[in-house]
Amino acid sequence: MKPSPPPAPQELELKLSLPLADAERLRQQLARVALLSRRTAAQLSLHNIYYDTPDQQLRQQRAVLRLRRVGDDLSPRWLQTFKTGASDTSALSQRGEWESPVDGAALSRPALQATPWSQIDTDGSLFAALAPCFVTAFERTLWLVRRRDGSVVEVALDLGQIEADDKTTPICELELELKAGQPAALFAIAQQIARTVAVLPATMSKAQRGFLLAQGGLNQAHRAQLPRLTQRMPVLQMVQQVLRSALAQFTQNLESLRHSDDPEVVHQARVGWRRFKSALRLFRKFLPLAAPKPSAALQALLDALGELRNMDVARTETLPALADAFTLGQTQRTQAWQAMMTVVTQATDLQRATVRRTLQTPATGASLLAIVQWLEGLSDDEQAAPGPKVLLRPWAKQRMHRLSQQLDAARQVADTAEQWHRVRILAKRLRYGSEHLQDVLPRRRVKQGVQSATDMQDDLGAARDVAQLSALVAKLDLPPYVAEFLRGVALGAGGWVKSSPKKMAPGSGLNT
């Protein structure tokens, strides 16, 4: 009888990005963290070369291969590392990791013999096609934290940059790696750091960011990446995957927002948070414990994002569509409109700066960390106390049917702006619920639910965007006759909402 193969070495790591990208201030802040200040830190200079095939076969299989030089050119030490199972939906990642010393700055196929490499490269053709894709170069400060409960955590501060061709992007992050003990130790230490240092849960590794940089896709808007569900999946595992996907969409767009002025980034961040809240409501009967409520700091961020989104929409969509109706081809009115647009643009820039400052508030990241810790604990809750036995398909059909009925009922009686707002909220819940459960619902029902809810969202959303002009006028110093024009338009839009025709026939959601 052959002995069982040894278990694959696992790396369990919590990744945190640092919104305050000021190396000296970060070092000062970390020096005030008690659990780090009383420990001696080690310093390393690291240079890494990442490899893949031209069609990125490794990346497609969630694998990473890199060469690392530790130290300087005079006395380098080279390590080859192969990683598998990388995830891009959680700041807490667990993956296989095999690291071997090599002779120099060249990949070694023999060093891969004790790894699962042969499973993806049976004939050596993949190895032969490997080429450098990008490099990372950074200074690492290391602290080894030993806790009284026996857990050991390595805390690494990485400051440097990723380089791909002629493009670069900064590295400014913390990695907490569990060397011994339970994952709770990672969050306990992270929360102690987050009392002093602003952090954000980071779902993308340096490798993932490097590939995006090389392809020109870094810091762009991240849309929903829906998880794959199966009929026999344990219910809390299903809930966890859906919530991870939504929260990752939110935090990835927050990361992009630090560097990008693209209005779509703000929009997708808010979509991610709405999907997260919608999923919490959809699955609440299955949750052993309720999710932590957003702190005042996180709520301030959410409110600031909403305000920024309103201003972005006004600046890029609503106001440009009204320009001709106001200017009427007259020079004086055109100049007044352009002056107004300058004021709106400046106000939007100030609001974007406010959002970025809110990201640098330690309490914001601490609140997000608490949500991530709760979310990652759901799988432990299922092992300790298995949830109810649920047949996912019948439950999903029933839940979406009920939500569709609520939407139809609300739409039939809607007459005020507040009632139409509730219709819009229910339409969002129907759309997000249909998308969350698309793998366990009949395809026809998913298509009906998503399409009907999206159409209603679009109609009511467009009217709401115009109605928001009154709030914009109240906040900005605009020429009187421009302000009066916008108030009139907003008043007309408000009337449209109150008397909006019921465009969807009853039962056009998932009731059929």
Q: What H or E segment, with its residue span, contains residue 153?
A: strand 152-164
Residue 510 predicted with pLDDT over 70: no
Q: Is the pLDDT of residue 75 over 90?
A: no
Write the pLDDT tens digit of every residue in 198-246.
999 999 999 999 999 999 999 999 999 988 888 888 889 899 999 999 9
Most confident of 15-19, 387-391, 401-405: 15-19
**DSSP code, position 439:** T
> Is residue 34 classed as helix, strand or coil in its secondary structure?
helix
Handedness of CA 438, 444, 445, 448 (dihedral sign): positive
CA distance 227 to 395: 18
Question: What distance in Å separates the CA atoms of residue 489 and residue 467, rounded to the nearest whole number?
Answer: 8
Rounded CA-CA distance 234/221 in Å is 31
Is 396 a residue whose pLDDT tops 50?
yes
Cα–Cα distances in angstroms (integers) from residue 375 to residues 189, 247, 275, 506, in the given order: 17, 10, 15, 37
Burial of 103 (0-12, 13-18, 19+ CB in 10 A): exposed
Q: Is the pLDDT of residue 1 over 70?
A: no
* Dihedral in degrees, nearest 10, Cα atoms 152, 158, 164, 170: 140
The 8-class DSSP code of residue 52 comes to: E
Q: How far apart are CA 348 and CA 361, in angstroms?
A: 21
- What one-letter code names the amino acid at 281? R
For the record, the structure tokens of 494 come out as: 């408000």
What is the pLDDT averaged over residues 245-266?
97
Residue 66 parent element (H or E): strand 63-70
pLDDT of residue 263: 97
pLDDT at 382 over 60: no
pLDDT of amino acid 377? 92
How far is it, in rounded angstroms, from Cα 64 to Cα 272? 28
Average pLDDT, integer, range 415-430: 87
3-state DSSP assignment of residue 218? coil
Helix or strand run (H / E) with residue 51:
strand 42-52
Instruction: Tell me how far apart the alpha carbons of residues 337 and 342 are, in angstroms, rounded to a whole number.
Output: 9
Contact, 200 vs 368, CB < 8 A?
Answer: yes
Contact 509, 449 (CB under 8 A): yes
Which contacts qualify for 39-42: CB closer than 8 Å, 24 or more apart? 39/143, 39/144, 39/145, 41/141, 41/142, 41/143, 42/141, 42/142, 42/143
pLDDT computed for residue 369 by the predictor: 97
Percent of the chain clearing pLDDT 90 (strictly above): 66
Q: What's the token pair of residue 337?
A: 């409109």
Average pLDDT of the chain?
89
Q: How far is CA 310 from CA 329, 397, 466, in A?
A: 28, 35, 10
Global model pTM greater than 0.85: yes
Euclidean distance between CA atoms 384 and 174, whole angstroms: 31
Residue 21's SS3 state is coil
Q: How confident is the model at residue 20 (pLDDT cuts 50, 70, 90)?
A: confident
* Lowest pLDDT segment from 204-208, 370-374, 455-459: 455-459
Reported confidence tier of residue 512, pLDDT bands at 50, 70, 90 = very low
For the record, the structure tokens of 202 come out as 């980071």
Give which of 68, 131, 130 is closest to 100, Cα–Cα: 68
Residue pair 366/295 in contact by the 8 Å Cβ criterion: yes
| Residue 286, CB-side half-sphere exposure with 13 Å CA sphere | 26
pLDDT of residue 501: 42
Count CB neighbours of 436 within 10 A.
Answer: 28
Q: How far apart are CA 66 and CA 81, in angstroms?
A: 5
User: Which residues sit opposite 162 in a β-bridge?
Assistant: 136, 169
Q: Which of 144, 168, 169 is nearest to 154 (CA)?
A: 144
Mean of pLDDT values over 332-357: 95
CA distances for 158 relative to 17, 155, 371, angstroms: 10, 10, 24
For residue 216, what are the contacts with CB-CB under 8 A and spacing of at least 6?
167
pLDDT at 502: 44
Q: What is the pLDDT of residues 268-313, one digit of tens each?
A: 999 999 999 999 999 999 998 999 999 999 999 999 999 999 999 9
Q: How many CA atoms lie within 13 A of 395 on its CB side?
A: 14
At 480 the three-state DSSP class reads helix
- Out of 26-30, 126-130, 345-349, least confident range: 26-30
83: β partners: 64, 97
Q: How far is CA 215 from the centre of its chain?
A: 19
The three-point CA angle 444-448-454 to 5° equals: 145
Would the pLDDT of 360 be above 80? yes
Give, as one character, the DSSP assignment of residue 112.
G
Average confidence (pLDDT) over 428-441:
90
Distance CA(428)–CA(54), nearest Å, equals 40
